[in-house]
Structure 1
């Protein structure tokens, strides 16, 4: 079986359960933005100097796969999806991120002067965290756009999760930049 199915040549794509949508549909935009976020986390995962980053990023990537599954579920098929996919973004995911915000802040991730200038510290992992953060914000905006459609958003925790994740990514960028200072 080839990756090139040619089914999208007319401007549509598949969701789960045989549903097809225009590639310009807000749900597809939201899915694409979350996919970009997951891809943007890849370089951070590879370059991470801090143990905290190495712990956080792979877990978040796994959750983003679950989140994409939720988004790829056509409205009305949520129960069908839940029968085989029990992982959903929930308050526990947001709480986990809240705990990381507290840990990173307590550990000194807020020690910076003035505005944070991505890349200024010369630390690739910090710059990658900033790129992932802006991808996260774009995904959040696309999810909010989806929420405003007739199809809506079946899981309101997704917005809270992405909002909190962008905070964690900002802190990780500063945290990774400090690793370079600690090594000097």
Structure 2
């Protein structure tokens, strides 16, 4: 079967459970930004992130896939999503992101000045900074979706804020 179906030619796209939505919707904006964040992390990973950061990137990418699944589910389909056994991001994942950031901070990683991605000629660090900036955009997109009337659980609203902080820290260590 071809990936080219023509189903999106009308300006709509498929979500989970056969639901369709406008490609210009806030929800699709969130999905696209989270997908872009996953790709940015892939660039940082492929650029040679150090052995300690590599598994962290991998776990974050797994969480992002779960988040894309969550946002590919329209309100009212949450129970169906859970019953299907798809992955979900929860409080434990948010706690892991926070604890990981605190672990690196405890090693002396502190804010000294604004980031200048690429200044040290490290593709891995520049990639992490790029991923951080996309995470901030994802945070704004999630908040816009929530403020626009589509309930987004608090843990997901907080996730991207904490993740962008972690990515800033990792960019200093990558």
**TM-score class normalised by the smaller sequence:** over 0.9
Can you list the C-alpha shifts for 1:116-142, whole angstroms capped at 9, x where unaligned? 211111111000000000111111111
Can you list the C-alpha shifts for 1:52-77, whole angstroms capped at 9, x where unaligned? 21110010101111111110111101
The answer to whether the 8 A contact 1:109-1:172 is kept is no
Which residue of 2 is the match for residue 106 of structure 1?
A: 106
- Please, what TM-score do these two structures have when normalized by structure 2? 0.94
Which residue of 2 is the match for residue 57 of structure 1?
A: 57
Alignment length (residue pairs): 174
Between the aligned partners of 2:83 and 2:61, the Cα distance in structure 1 is 22
Q: What is the SS of the residue equivalent to 2:117?
A: coil
Where in structure 1 do 4 or more consecutive aligned residues deviate above 6 Å?
Answer: none
Can you list the C-alpha shifts for 1:48-99, whole angstroms capped at 9, x where unaligned? 3422211100101011111111101111010011002253111111110111
Q: CA deviation at 1:113?
A: 4.7
Query: Structure 2 matches for 1:1-184, cutoff 5 A?
Result: 1-110=1-110, 113-153=112-152, 155-176=153-174
Q: What is the SS of the residue equivalent to 1:51?
A: coil
The answer to whether the 8 A contact 2:73-2:81 is kept is yes
RMSD, aligned α-carbons: 1.4
Q: What is the SS of the residue equivalent to 1:107?
A: coil
Between the aligned partners of 1:175 and 1:17, the Cα distance in structure 2 is 41
- Please, what TM-score do these two structures have when normalized by structure 1? 0.89
CA 156–113 in structure 1, closer or farther in 2 if over 3 Å, else same? closer
- Gap regions ≥5 residues in structure 2: none
Q: What is the SS of the residue equivalent to 1:13?
A: strand
